[in-house]
Amino acid sequence: MIRLTTARQPRRQNLLSGAGFAIASAMSGLIGDAGAEAPAASPAPSTTGLAPLKGRAPAIFIGHGSPMNAVADNAFTRMLGDWGRALGRPRAILMVSAHWLTEREVQVSTTARPETIHDFGGFPPELYRLQYPAPGAPDAARTAAQALAPRVAGIDAARGLDHGAWSVLRHMYPLADVPVFQLSIDITKAGPYHHGIGRALAGLRDNGVLIAGSGNVVHNLRATMRGQPDTLHGMTPWAEEFDVRAKAAIDAGDARALMAYETLTAGAPMAVPYPDHYYPLLYALGAALPGERARHVYEGFQAGTLSMRCVQWG
């Protein structure tokens, strides 16, 4: 079932709004080599385009972290640039971001020219001036909506790109020349539903559509550690143990364990107090094909407890 709808964000524990602005502001000084001044460039500079991605597009998961990564020059953002160049230019990107949540249905954006959404507060003014003017992909978006039948799928013709999408794509595809569309997360559903959506969309990869989930395996903003440098391991047992256990389950292809994240470790309630940032992993995992082994493109933590793990299938 496909229908035209108006985007509506559900009530949620969104720590980048309301009282969370103070936490977000504190995080703005945590990220690598970003520095006090954020350059107002849009998009990041690049001198050449990329060759088209050949064959089936992969499915990937990106740990996006703070919006400040959009302007940071650190190991994580440099990896994103290398990753984009290694992948090549896909026909389109389907982005499932932790920052587009809906209730009791999934929505697909068919916007032809999506705006850059600055969906955060308490950050330097320069960050709000950034634009990522990638075109939309209305035809690919409608194909994605059709693939979700008989699930309820809404078509949102006005949705822009939230920072879970553009803050990482700005480094991966700095020319903003790859069409991008987004898929919402029905936050009322449990893990198996989200994994199933990824499986339903896997066929898009054969048409050159890169399926990307953008969130964080471990994400608890109230427990981040201000001023801590980037580290390979989490600085609390609950963050490190959950990330290690998730990696082991990813490597084993243990979708059942990953869908039941609440029981993955004893510290799961601290590692994933709200599943908005975790669920994008399940979409990428679901879009992986039998026999495709996971490759951990990046491992590490920012702010002590924020896992920046990035994974590729295919």
The pLDDT-based confidence of 49 (bands split at 50, 70, 90) is confident
Report pLDDT for 150. Answer: 86
Report pLDDT for 40. Answer: 36
Per-residue pLDDT of 70-112, as tens digits, reads: 999 999 999 999 999 999 999 999 999 999 999 999 999 999 9
Flag whether pLDDT at 11 surpasses 70: no
Q: Which strands sit side by side in the sheet containing 92-102, from one edge to the other?
A: 2-4, 153-156, 106-109, 180-186, 92-102, 209-215, 59-63, 310-313, 294-298
Tell which residue, 114, 119, 122, has the closest CA to residue 9: 119
Flag whether pLDDT at 160 surpasses 80: yes
The domain limits of the chain are 2-313
Flag whether pLDDT at 16 surpasses 80: no
Percentage of the chain with pLDDT > 70? 85
Distance, C-alpha 237 to centroid of its chain: 24
Per-residue pLDDT of 138-153, as tens digits, reads: 999 999 999 998 887 8
Report pLDDT for 10. Answer: 55
Report pLDDT for 153. Answer: 84
The pLDDT-based confidence of 48 (bands split at 50, 70, 90) is low
Q: By the 8 A CB rule, do 250 and 258 touch?
A: yes
- Which are the contacts of 102, defined by CB distance < 8 A and separation ≥ 6? 7, 8, 9, 10, 154, 184, 185, 186, 187
Per-residue pLDDT of 199-223, as tens digits, reads: 999 999 999 999 999 999 999 999 9
- Which are the contacts of 187, defined by CB distance < 8 A and separation ≥ 6? 10, 12, 101, 102, 103, 275, 276, 279
Report pLDDT for 7. Answer: 40
Per-residue pLDDT of 249-308, as tens digits, reads: 999 999 999 999 999 999 999 999 999 999 999 999 999 999 999 999 999 999 999 999
Flag whether pLDDT at 37 surpasses 80: no
C-alpha span between 177 and 179 (Å, rounded): 6
Flag whether pLDDT at 28 surpasses 50: no
| Cβ count within 10 A of residue 232 | 8
Per-residue pLDDT of 240-252, as tens digits, reads: 999 999 999 999 9
CATH number of 2-313, picked from 3.40.720.10, 3.30.559.10, 3.40.830.10, 3.30.70.260: 3.40.830.10
DSSP classification of residue 131? -
Report pLDDT for 139. Answer: 97
Flag whether pLDDT at 39 surpasses 70: no
Report pLDDT for 281. Answer: 98
Report pLDDT for 152. Answer: 76
- Share the mean pLDDT of the chain: 88
Flag whether pLDDT at 196 surpasses 70: yes
How many residues in total does the chain contain?
314
